A and B are shown apart, each in its own frame.
Chain A
Amino acid sequence: MAVQETATTISARGLTRNFGVHTAVNNVDLELKRGEVLGFLGPNGAGKTTTMQMLTGNLAPSAGAISICGIDLLDHPAAAKARIGYLPETPPLYRELNVDEYLTLAARLHRVPKPRQRDAIDDVKQRCGIADVGGKLIGALSKGYQQRVGIAQAIVHGPDVVILDEPTVGLDPNQIREIRNLIRELGGKHSVILSTHILPEVEAICDRVQIMHHGNLVYSDTIAALRDFQSGRSVLLGLRRPPRLDELAAMPGVTTAQCVSDTLFRLQFSASDGPGPIDALVKRSAEKNWGLYQLSPGQTSIEDVFVNLTRREENT
């Protein structure tokens, strides 16, 4: 395969995973461009970890295709995995090794060329703030330092895609800030998928957000679009039998209409029209039997989106 600087670093289509009768992940799509940081959210048990395991080749998908920088993960696993760095929820640390030995092992396993190993390890130790604990046994380090070693292991080979599962768990506020800066800095040249429960972190670092619930992708959008919610008037509309998007966009007072999920739409209204357009919308949806089940004001924070989407799914 030609080694190119492709724009799309990771692409997954129709990812599905069944465990017997239970569907853990159902038809999830994911696409990241170089330089994007994706916030991957969801309640516990939503299928985030399972999805990440599939993306990194730890678990075979029941259906779907994954490609890293254009290389299919199932056809050419070694070449694709060389471009991924993964930090799972429990950092895969060998407690009997010291930090230098462990990072050397990680560099070798990820095929860093021998002459460059020394520099890569020193560089990553500098970036993760573990430069002065090189000789210490990993088992003797505090949790925060162990977490940093885990992050170091994920980036030592300079991968195109870095997948981090709750990287700031267990760190003190100073360390959290440093790691966030590190992730933002990583997002400059690489793509990062960040799974976390700390929503302000997502707002601070990420460019895009995807929310999973019960194995389905229920929200997928950019942070910029989320911020657009906060200015001007916007409304989250849930329709069980929705019409075509252009029909919604043609309603009076609507400036833009976007599809957030199969049944959820976001409509922006021009600011000063008063309640008129929304009333007209409700009336039209009753007339045409669109099955209106939700009409909520524009979300002010990602936490509202999260709670709204995941609680709503439990009620329906």
Chain B
Amino acid sequence: MIFTIASKELKALFASPLAWVVLTGMQIIIGYGFLKRLDDFLQIQPQLAQMPSPPGVTELVAAPTFGTLAAILLFAVPLLAMRLIAEERRNQTLVLLMSAPLSITEIVLGKFLGLAAFLLLVIGLVTLMPLSLAASTRLDYGLLLSLVAGLALLAACFAAVSLYISCLTAHPMVAALGAFGALLAMLLMGETAGDSLRARGWHVPAALAQVLSPVKNFEPFGKGLIDTYALACLLLLTLAFLVLAVRQLEAKRLRG
């Protein structure tokens, strides 16, 4: 049942021009960034060869590329997720799902997995770029794996937040803007709040600020470190927003 809804969402994503525009835009921007960094890397290669243990192509080219992708996902995921619940409410099609023998958990998970599948596809396409260098050089596959895993978790987190915001409104555009605002707030909080709180000696709020910031939790993955604390933070954050989404829909059914 979850799979039915997930495949329906995936089909619906590809049926609208939005997904194709996002994919095209991403490929252009990230492709350009990747090739430019590759070019720069090739230019400084002679100097790198003289260093005792120089960073390789994966660290200098692939990692920033994935960093760009993370930044783009911050904008793109709210746009892709905005129609998940909000459009169903606007078009009065949510009735079909609510009248069917489905639990609200199944509905939310199905929509989340549909979006997550699309995002995994995006990440896969971007991963092909550094993989294309595999024929001519040795890649650091450990770092690559860490980057892909971190980005997948990050995308899942963004998707869960955007899905929850989509549950709150019947206007897709409001959902997109709201989700973007929420993600931006979480990003800023992670960047600034954690450090300043820690500087004042407030360790518990600092830890909380760390937990709530998905991008701060992605940093270890960006360095090739599978930090289980960061992993747990991202998973918990995703889970928390999915639970909030389920509760929001149930409350809607109770309140009317």
Which residues on A are within 8 Å of B, measured CB to CB?
A: 17, 19, 50, 56-60, 77-82, 84, 86, 88, 90, 92-97, 101, 105-106, 108-111, 153
Complex partner residue of A59 from B5, B8, B97, B256, CB under 8 angstroms: B256
Query: Do residues A111 and B253 form an inter-chain contact, with CB atoms below 8 A?
Result: no
Contacts A58-B95, A88-B95, A94-B12; is A109 near B254 (CB within 8 Å)?
Answer: no
Query: Do residues B101 and A17 form an inter-chain contact, with CB atoms below 8 A?
Result: no
Complex partner residue of B96 from A80, A95, A96, A109, CB under 8 angstroms: A109
19 of the cross-chain contacts (CB-CB < 8 Å) are A17-B256, A56-B99, A58-B95, A58-B99, A59-B253, A78-B102, A78-B103, A79-B101, A81-B101, A84-B99, A86-B99, A90-B92, A97-B12, A105-B8, A109-B1, A109-B4, A109-B5, A109-B97, A111-B101
Given contacts A81-B100, A106-B96, 7 further A-B contacts (CB under 8 A): A17-B256, A56-B99, A60-B253, A78-B101, A84-B99, A95-B91, A96-B15
Min distance, Cβ B114 to any Cβ of chain A, angstroms: 13
Measured between alpha carbons, how far is A11 from B97 in the docked complex, in Å?
A: 23
Mask of B135-178 contacts with A, CB within 8 angstroms, 1/0: 00000000000000000000000000000000000000000000
Number of residue pairs across A and B with beta carbons under 8 Å?
67
Query: Do residues B253 and A58 form an inter-chain contact, with CB atoms below 8 A?
Result: yes
Measured between alpha carbons, how far is A95 from B91 in the docked complex, in Å?
A: 9
Measured between alpha carbons, how far is A78 from B104 in the docked complex, in Å?
A: 11
Q: In this assembly, does B93 line the interface, its C-beta being within 8 Å of a C-beta of chain A?
A: yes
Complex partner residue of A81 from B16, B99, B253, B256, CB under 8 angstroms: B99
For chain B, the count of residues having a C-beta within 8 Å of the partner chain is 24
Contacts A88-B92, A105-B8, A108-B4; is A60 near B99 (CB within 8 Å)?
Answer: no
Residues of chain B within 8 A (CB-CB) of A57 are 98-99
Residue of A nearest to B102 (CB): A109
Min distance, Cβ A237 to any Cβ of chain B, angstroms: 38
Min distance, Cβ B254 to any Cβ of chain A, angstroms: 5
Complex partner residue of B100 from A59, A101, A110, CB under 8 angstroms: A110
Residues of chain B within 8 A (CB-CB) of A95 are 91
Interface centre among B95, B97, B99 (most CB of A within 10 A): B99
Min distance, Cβ A63 to any Cβ of chain B, angstroms: 13
Complex partner residue of A82 from B91, B96, B101, B103, CB under 8 angstroms: B101
Mask of B90-130 contacts with A, CB within 8 angstroms, 1/0: 01111111111111000000000000000000000000000
Residues of chain A within 8 A (CB-CB) of B96 are 92, 106, 109, 153
Measured between alpha carbons, how far is A81 from B15 in the docked complex, in Å?
A: 30
Residues of chain A within 8 A (CB-CB) of B100 are 81, 109-110
Residues of chain A within 8 A (CB-CB) of B12 are 94, 96-97
Contacts A105-B4, A108-B4, A109-B1; is A92 near B103 (CB within 8 Å)?
Answer: no
